[in-house]
Amino acid sequence: MSDSCCCPTEAGSTVCELPAQDFQRPSRTKNTCPVCGMRGKPVQGQTVKALLSVSLREVQDVEYLFCKTQDCPVVYFSPDGEQIFRAEHIRERVYQKEPESDDVFVCYCFRHTVGDIRAASSESRKAILEDINIGINAGQCACDLRNPQGSCCLGNVRGLIKRHDQVMTDMAK
């Protein structure tokens, strides 16, 4: 977050003159991971329930958040930051935490791993993307129940392909 004032500069004054109304600095910003401090992405309750490997008696009726920071051990946390579920509490290995591990899924619904993408030719990569798209259009995906992030994997797959295409290009130089 920027410390600089974002008020419009008016009448030649570059200093913010608006009173800081109702502004209290919270000890912890809501929805940020209690371990890494990055903002989490809200996930549906069914995602957390489907992905946890621990007793669902521990699940509270709150909107959990997903932490995608690679080197942070937290996968889900409660909005107040009091409860966390780490990678070892999740039934699947989490792509965001191990984006370079060949045997981790990047597409959980149609079961494409990082290794599949890495080993594929650019033709095969297109075929994998197409397979995912066809599956999505046929309503065969269940990202909310299978993917720890609780949403569609396509952005991750595209990003992974792009990253590896870039590696290939760099190696060819």
Q: How far apart are CA 154 and CA 133, in angstroms?
A: 8
Angle in degrees, 0-180, between the axes of helices 122-137 and 154-172, rounded to the nearest 10: 170
84 binds Zn ion (CB under 5 A): no
The residue type of 171 is M
Query: Among 5-13, 64-72, 131-139, 159-167, which window interacts with Zn ion (CB under 5 A)?
Result: 64-72
Q: Is 157 in the site for Zn ion (CB under 5 A)?
A: no
The smaller minimum CB distance to Zn ion, of residues 36 and 59, is found at 36
Contact pick of 33, 75, 132, 141 for Zn ion (by CB under 5 A): 33
Cα separation, 130 vs 146, in Å, equals: 19
| Of positions 31, 36, 98, 144, contacts Zn ion by CB under 5 A | 36
- Which contacts qualify for 17-20: CB closer than 8 Å, 24 or more apart? none
Nearer to Zn ion, 34 or 115 (CB): 34
Nearer to Zn ion, 151 or 164 (CB): 151
Q: Tell me whether residue 69 or residue 151 sits nearer to Zn ion (CB atom).
A: 69
Please count the residues of this chain forming the interface with Zn ion, following the rule CB under 5 A.
Answer: 7
Q: Is 67 in the site for Zn ion (CB under 5 A)?
A: yes
**165 and 122 in contact (C-beta within 8 Å)?**
yes
CA distance 29 to 84: 16
Provide the minimum distance between the beta carbon of 75 and Zn ion in the complex, in angstroms, as a whole number: 8
Structure tokens that stand for 47 in this block = 């995602």
Q: Which is nearer to Zn ion, 74 or 117 (CB)?
A: 74
Determine the Cα–Cα distance for residues 76 and 97; give it in Å rounded to an integer.
12
Considering only 31, 44, 69, 83, the residue that binds Zn ion (CB under 5 A) is 69
How far apart CA 137 and CA 110 sit, in angstroms, is 13
Binding site for Zn ion (CB under 5 A): 33, 35-36, 67, 69, 72, 74
